[in-house]
Amino acid sequence: MLTSLYNIVKRKVARLLMNIRIKLFFMIIALLFTMSSLTSSAKGDLLSLSLKELMNVNIGSPYSGKIFQSEVTPITADSYNFALMIPVGTVPQYSAEIIAAADLAASKVNEMGGINGKKLAIVGADDGALSDISVTLANRLIQEYRISAIIGAGNSDVAEELLKQVSIPNKVPLLTHSASSNRLAEISGGKYFWRMLTSNQGQVKIIADELEQLNRLDRVYLIKDRTLYSKEMTKGIKEELTYRGNSIVGELTISELVDIATMNLRSEVNSMIKAKPHAVFVTLKSEKLPQFMQAIDKLWHGSKPLFIMGDTVKPVSFKGFDIEHLSPCIKFLISQESSSTSAPLQEHINALLKINNSGFDSAYIYDSIFLMAMAKSLEKSKNIPINEALKRLTNGSKLITENHYPDIESMFNKNASFRYRGMSGQIQFDHQGQNIHAKMLIRKLKQTTSSQNKCLQAL
């Protein structure tokens, strides 16, 4: 009887081991396929994943990106062409807002005479916010479409590779509305890179100040991936907490390669709950973060901490996701809200796209187009470098706006420099290309009062 039972168990174990070997075999084949289709930066990330992350890597067809031309401002034989690098397939509504803002700005530039009498055209590139795809498309845009400036760049990883492999080698300026890495300014040396938003260094201070005001600095938990933004923000938060006499209570790394929908996060969420955080700072990529929050919403039990989302995700990204329990406890780090200067632009985009509340980034894009067009005009007519043109347009005392565009060359003869006020407010670039007037705010996802939710109250 015992021998028979032993043989039955032995056969079941053997069958189980065979199934495991088969699963591992197919997992290895799938991972080899994945390696062949990943970008070079993602391949390095893949090699550092845990076994659990490896088993949940999203294996799909490789993303190739695409180039598309604006119907509003098409290319002509002698037009000035600006590239607009955006992740359309990843965040379509957000990208639509960006495209609408760029088209409107370029149309107004053309109504005012274009750049040195030539039309301005916008050429879009859907790069999926992937570095290698973005570099490939940008090089094609320069070679095939005579691109003279790059606007956009979906994140810091993309912007870094664009700078190293495209902008600096080809001497093509890059003006971004969303790449906040501190390292980008150092790479460029103040020649080919400018950004509209607050740097990571500034964002760290904003988050720390918010948590200190709410008395939540003592128990901070970090959820991160391996992107440049996440690495810099994690390092910055840890250093800022140490400076203020605190430290983190735990951290979780989730690769951007992982398919959140297939990953069982129960053990990770339980570990977070046991850490008893007062605040959780999340820096996952935009396409992963809503899925992640939806997953842990179903697993979180007990008192809820405050969740602060990094600048990688916008409130619109959470549309359609069921985050019933945690949504009152979520706050966003966002570019400043609609103001009297940006309101007309946002109203135009809302009407065009039939949406209720377009984001502030559209104002950054609008101003980027106008400023770069002005700078290109001066670069050609006054024979000055593009970095000098942008410096003079934003670092003086005489106020100018987009309405001064037709007269900027004649005004330049009388004034050494100006200060520019656009849809996003005053813009002033320092010697490293940072907009020193950029502002960011922390706002709630769900409009409830602090008294209704303990997670929003000061402790």
pLDDT value of residue 339: 63
3-class DSSP string for 108-160: HHHHCCCECCECEEEEEEECCCCHHHHHHHHHHHHHHHCEEEEEECCCHHHHH
Mean pLDDT, residues 9-32 taken together: 49
Confidence of residue 391 (pLDDT cuts 50, 70, 90): very high
* 199: pLDDT strictly greater than 90: yes
Confidence of residue 4 (pLDDT cuts 50, 70, 90): low
Confidence of residue 62 (pLDDT cuts 50, 70, 90): low
* 210: pLDDT strictly greater than 70: yes
Provide φ and ψ at 279, rounded to 5°. Answer: -150, 145
**8 assigned to some structural domain:** yes
**18 assigned to some structural domain:** yes
Provide φ and ψ at 92, rounded to 5°. Answer: -65, -45
pLDDT 10s digits, 263-297 = 899 999 999 999 999 999 999 988 788 889 999 99
pLDDT value of residue 372: 98
**71 assigned to some structural domain:** no
* 36: pLDDT strictly greater than 50: no
Which of the two residues, 426 and 62, has the higher pLDDT score?
Answer: 426
Which residue range(s) make up the domain with 6? Answer: 2-54
pLDDT value of residue 58: 57
Mean pLDDT, residues 349-368 taken together: 86
**195 assigned to some structural domain:** no
pLDDT 10s digits, 104-149 = 999 999 999 999 999 999 999 999 888 999 999 999 999 999 999 9
**131 assigned to some structural domain:** no
pLDDT 10s digits, 413-428 = 988 899 999 999 999 9
Confidence of residue 92 (pLDDT cuts 50, 70, 90): confident
Mean pLDDT, residues 237-263 taken together: 91
Question: By the 8 A CB rule, do 430 and 198 touch?
Answer: no
| pLDDT over 70, % of the chain | 83
pLDDT value of residue 5: 45
3-class DSSP string for 403-416: HHHHHHHHHHHHCC
Mean pLDDT of the chain: 85
**36 assigned to some structural domain:** yes
**32 assigned to some structural domain:** yes
Mean pLDDT, residues 92-110 taken together: 92
pLDDT 10s digits, 133-190 = 999 999 999 999 999 999 998 789 999 999 999 999 999 999 999 999 999 989 988 8
pLDDT value of residue 18: 53
How far is residue 337's CA from residue 334's CA, in Å, rounded to a whole number? Answer: 8
Q: Which of 43-57, 348-362, 422-436 is modeled with the greatest confidence?
A: 422-436
Q: In total, how many domains does the chain have? A: 1
pLDDT 10s digits, 295-332 = 999 999 888 999 999 988 877 778 788 888 898 999 99
**143 assigned to some structural domain:** no
Give the pairing of strands 418-422 and 425-427: antiparallel
Mean pLDDT, residues 70-79 taken together: 91
Q: If 0-12 CB within 10 Å is exposed, 13-18 middle and 19+ buried, where does residue 329 land?
A: buried
How far is residue 96's CA from residue 210's CA, in Å, rounded to a whole number? Answer: 31
